Structures are given as structure tokens and as C-alpha cells.
Amino acid sequence: MADLSQKEWEEQLEKDSNAVILDVRTEEEIEEGIIPNSINLDIYKGQEFIEELEKLDKSKNYYVYCRSGNRSGQACAIMKSLGIDNAFNLQGGFMNWEGETA
């Protein structure tokens, strides 16, 4: 897992043809907007969250974000424990995001 600044996260994501953007926020938080093309898996759903992670393609590179960067950091650690080696945490999360939103 790597903590990336928004600039690093965006630059790496742009060059990555094997990327998946993962939003680990709640449904209420998603109403504030999302980073385009992201998939939502709410980390607060506990076991259901883990089961969804287990279904993910381990060969992909995951760019993970939440509201502030804390939960996405935890999500990256959980993903690592499940054998997903390429998870990148967006430092500062969505509340500091300055890019495009949907």
C-alpha cells in the first residue's frame, strides 16, 4: 500500500491501464459527489465489505479514497491482508480533492 498525494495519485492513475477507483465512503457521503468512474464499497458494512473485496480481481491496481484518507488507508491494509498488493490511498481523501467530480 502507498499513500499518494492527489498529484501523485492522479498522475499514476492516468498512466495506469489496469486501474480501478474504489470509493469506501457511505451512501450519504456519496451524495456529495464522487470521483468519476469509481466503484463504491462502504467500509462500514464490515463483513459484507470484506466479502466484496474478496471478489475483486487481484491483478488490478486499486486507487482507494474516502472522505479524509483514514478509512481508505484502513481499506488498503485490509486489501493487502486479502492478497491485493496494489492499493493506493488518496491522502486527504475526497474533502481535499481538487479534480473532476460526478
Q: Which residues are catalytic?
A: 66
CA distance 37 to 102: 9
| Residue 14 host element (H or E) | helix 6-15
CA distance 52 to 32: 23
| Residue 15 host element (H or E) | helix 6-15
